[in-house]
Amino acid sequence: MAPIVKSSNLAHIFPPYNLTPLDHVVPWEIFNAVFSFSLLGKDIFEVVQSVERGISNLCSNFPFLTGVVVPSIQPNGRRNLFMVQPASATQIEDYPILVIQEHTESTPKTVNGRLNPALTPVPMLYPASNPSPVLRLKTNIVRDELILVWSCDHRALDGTIFLAIFDEFATFSRDPNSPRKLATAPDVQDKTRQEIHEIASAIKPQRLPWTLISPSASRAKESREFIDSCRFALSSSYVLDHQKIVLLRDAYILAGSSLPEKHSKSPPSQITPLNMIVSALVSLCTNRARLKAFPNEREQPSDLLIATNIRKAGHIPRSYMGNCILPAESKGGSSVLPPPEVLHNIPLRGSLGALQPEDIWHVYNIAKNLRQARELLDRERIQGVIANLSRSHDWGSFQPGYGVSMFISDIKAASPYMNLGPLGDVQSFDMYVETLPGLCFILPDPPGSEPSWRLRLVLERAAMECLSSDPLFRWALAPTVCRDAKM
């Protein structure tokens, strides 16, 4: 029996609009958000009906979600600018807004270390120059499980707004007459975009808070992926032990207070967020893994980039639905170590197992630099950076080294585990970006679970293998490690 496939064309007409410089800073990638639900004891017809109701109301309220991202022709000769416009009939036929499919055989979520393409509504490899859907949804019925896969073009919205959109979808799925939570209107969106564009002429440009890497170098690395299996990007999930991260944070504080001033520069904060310690650990371990896997490429950056939501600091409305992400950069993964006598005088507490003084100093250095970089992103600096971006002739030239440097997106504080009425509660949530090695999502814990640090990590195959033997990373893993990559 063939799988049952049902498509819904919910396209809407809306005024086209140009994307802002902030939309061009993020990775030009499709990200997939995956939500799983149990179907045991549920009425499949009612479940499907609630999904259709939810997406229909969502698209009616936010019609741009049904559009496509396409190149924008600029009269001033600027290059690599994109816009959002309504999808054509052909584009909707190729990639409907909603697809519902019942899989008659066991269908795994991942295949060869990547999200199973049978579950996605659009291809995961999508050229940036092609008309790219802003958002599409595929509802997969796999035996007693329902898997919602949302594919989003990152150039049109960031993760914060996607999760707010999903909250709206959940509300509409429960009750189509519920009031909207994401209160906004097209004129508010237009006004905010216009204000972002006008910053270029009103504010003095400031230097970018990240290191530029030649786009040609990144493309060359991507092209080798297809001929060198060791560079094939794998996606794995890991769980780090919360108590060990606390121990590492304590060691970070002790290191900062005991190191001579010329090494510590500024004392660490007693309230240094744990996510910065996790980010520093991931940066250090993945950098070592990549150097071990590709020893002839020691010139590759060891920088850490962390996605920073600038809505509050930049005085941008929380309801603005475009990208409001700037990368904050920390250097120091390969910086010079203090003398051995300084390192070995760091007082340590608790059972730190395989930790070496060198590891603690590197984590301290990366996290300290990261904290300082984020603190510099105040309103004046943010507006100056936007002004710098806006005046660029080539809007494809100011991206950080995605795919080369380590890039971390922390959404641990998000609340995707909500109730969707007939669908019930979200059982699991995950994020996938398939083609960008050096990417890590820090994911929220499921309700009722022990505190932990859940990672969705994308690395080259050879680097992923080397990471599994890194002593510091192995020490930090939770006793029961979640892994779904096949080496």
Tokens of 6: 């049902």
Same domain, yes or no: 179 and 94: yes
Same domain, yes or no: 322 and 442: yes
- Structural domains in the chain (count): 2
Same domain, yes or no: 183 and 220: no
Whether 139 is in a domain gets the answer: yes
Residue indicated by tokens 């270029």 = 200
Query: Half-sphere exposure (CA, 13 Å, Cβ side) for 397?
Result: 9
Higher-confidence position of 145 and 346: 145
Tens of pLDDT, residue by residue over 105-131, are: 889 998 888 899 999 999 876 666 689
* pLDDT computed for residue 268 by the predictor: 53
* pLDDT computed for residue 124 by the predictor: 73
Q: Which CATH number is 116's domain given?
A: 3.30.559.10
Query: Half-sphere exposure (CA, 13 Å, Cβ side) for 95?
Result: 24
- Cα distance between residue 311 and residue 323, in whole Å: 9
Whether 172 is in a domain gets the answer: yes
Whether 342 is in a domain gets the answer: yes
Query: Beta strand pairing status for 68-71 and 132-133?
Result: antiparallel
Using DSSP, state whether 52 is helix, strand or coil: helix
Whether 88 is in a domain gets the answer: yes
Higher-confidence position of 447 and 260: 447
CB count in 10 Å sphere of residue 45: 9
Contact 433, 402 (CB under 8 A): no
- Amino acid symbol at 172: F
Asked whether the predicted pLDDT for residue 41 surpasses 90, the reply is yes
Contact 38, 424 (CB under 8 A): yes
Q: Which ranges in 233-308 belong to alpha helices (H)?
A: 242-258, 261-264, 274-293
Same domain, yes or no: 56 and 128: yes
Same domain, yes or no: 68 and 174: yes
Contact 137, 48 (CB under 8 A): no
Query: Beta strand pairing status for 304-309 and 406-410?
Result: parallel
Whether 209 is in a domain gets the answer: no
Tens of pLDDT, residue by residue over 352-384, are: 666 778 888 888 889 888 988 998 999 999 999
Whether 486 is in a domain gets the answer: no
Nearest residue to 131 via CA among 51, 248, 30 = 30
Compute φ and ψ for 162, nearest 5 degrees.
-60, -45
User: How far is the CA of 187 from the CAs of 140, 180, 191, 192, in angstroms?
Assistant: 36, 17, 6, 9
Same domain, yes or no: 160 and 246: no
Same domain, yes or no: 230 and 323: yes
Same domain, yes or no: 149 and 245: no
- Cα distance between residue 16 and residue 33, in whole Å: 25
* pLDDT computed for residue 301 by the predictor: 60
Percentage with pLDDT > 70 across the chain: 84
Contact 25, 389 (CB under 8 A): yes
β-strand partners of 30: 153
Asked whether the predicted pLDDT for residue 486 surpasses 50, the reply is no
Asked whether the predicted pLDDT for residue 224 surpasses 80, the reply is no
Tens of pLDDT, residue by residue over 388-447, are: 999 999 999 998 988 888 999 999 999 999 999 999 999 999 999 977 899 999 999 999
Same domain, yes or no: 106 and 240: no
User: How far is the CA of 85 from the CAs of 30, 131, 254, in angstroms?
Assistant: 17, 9, 54
Asked whether the predicted pLDDT for residue 61 surpasses 50, the reply is yes
Asked whether the predicted pLDDT for residue 36 surpasses 90, the reply is yes
User: How far is the CA of 163 from the CAs of 33, 34, 312, 416, in angstroms?
Assistant: 9, 12, 17, 7
* pLDDT computed for residue 441 by the predictor: 97
- Cα distance between residue 286 and residue 463, in whole Å: 7
Residue where a domain stops, chosen among 170, 202, 234: 202
Whether 481 is in a domain gets the answer: no
Tokens of 412: 């641990």
Tens of pLDDT, residue by residue over 189-202, are: 999 999 998 887 78
Same domain, yes or no: 266 and 415: yes
* pLDDT computed for residue 340 by the predictor: 65
Query: Would you give the distance in Å from CA 442 to the centre of its chain?
Result: 8
**Average pLDDT taken over every residue of the chain:** 85
Residue where a domain stops, chosen among 180, 202, 224: 202
What does the pLDDT average to over 220-237? 68
Same domain, yes or no: 401 and 321: yes
Compute and round to an integer the Cα radius of gyration of the chain. 23
* pLDDT computed for residue 254 by the predictor: 77
Whether 423 is in a domain gets the answer: yes
* pLDDT computed for residue 382 by the predictor: 95
Residue indicated by tokens 């585990």 = 417
Residue where a domain stops, chosen among 149, 171, 202: 202
Can you give the residue range of the structural domain that contains 416?
Answer: 215-476
Tens of pLDDT, residue by residue over 274-308, are: 999 999 999 999 999 999 999 887 555 668 999 99
Same domain, yes or no: 182 and 224: no
- Amino acid symbol at 436: L
Tokens of 272: 């240094």
